[in-house]
Amino acid sequence: MRIMLDSNILISAVIFKTKQMDDFVDRLKKNTIVLTNLITEEVLGVVEKKFPHKFKDFEEFLEALSFENSYIAKDIRYDYDIRDPGDRKILHSAYSCSVDILVTGDKDFFCRQYEDLEILTVAQYLEKY
């Protein structure tokens, strides 16, 4: 399966380490993890601003994680039905990269279903897969 991780999941995996998150990351490794420049740039900006003391930890996490990195143009008009306009780029990334699952902790993604895209929390992913 192709699985995309939202920025909040990546941040949680490094900053707020828990057994559940460690289990999740271990289980992901049997799949293709997909990230985009839009997601990694957002994460790096948040970590640098809010958790500068964890920046090296995050870099090491990404280096150890096997993932497919895709480039998504920043100047595209993202036209998806979701409350937060910033989340449109995540949906666009998921569809552009043909992922099967988007794992996120952002409640806005759960307000509706999206065609051909399963959206799960970490707990839901662990329960189902």
pLDDT tens for residues 36-86? 999 999 999 999 999 999 999 998 998 999 999 999 987 777 677 788 878
Measured distance CA(41)–CA(28) in Å, rounded: 21
Instruction: Domain of residue 18: give its range.
Output: 2-128
Give the pLDDT confidence of 77-92 residue by residue, as tens digits. Answer: 767 778 887 888 899 9
Type of residue found at 69: N
- At 16 the pLDDT is 85
Predicted TM-score (pTM) of the model is: 0.91
CATH number, position 60: 3.40.50.1010
Please give the residue that has the higher pLDDT: either 127 or 82.
Answer: 127
How many independent structural domains does the chain possess? 1
Q: How far apart are CA 126 and CA 86, in angstroms?
A: 27
In sequence order, what are the residues at sequence separation of 6 or more whose Cβ sits closer than 8 angstroms to the Cβ of residue 100? 1, 2, 3, 117, 118
Angle at which helices 55-64 and 7-15 cross, to 10°: 110
Residue 100 has pLDDT above 80, yes or no: yes
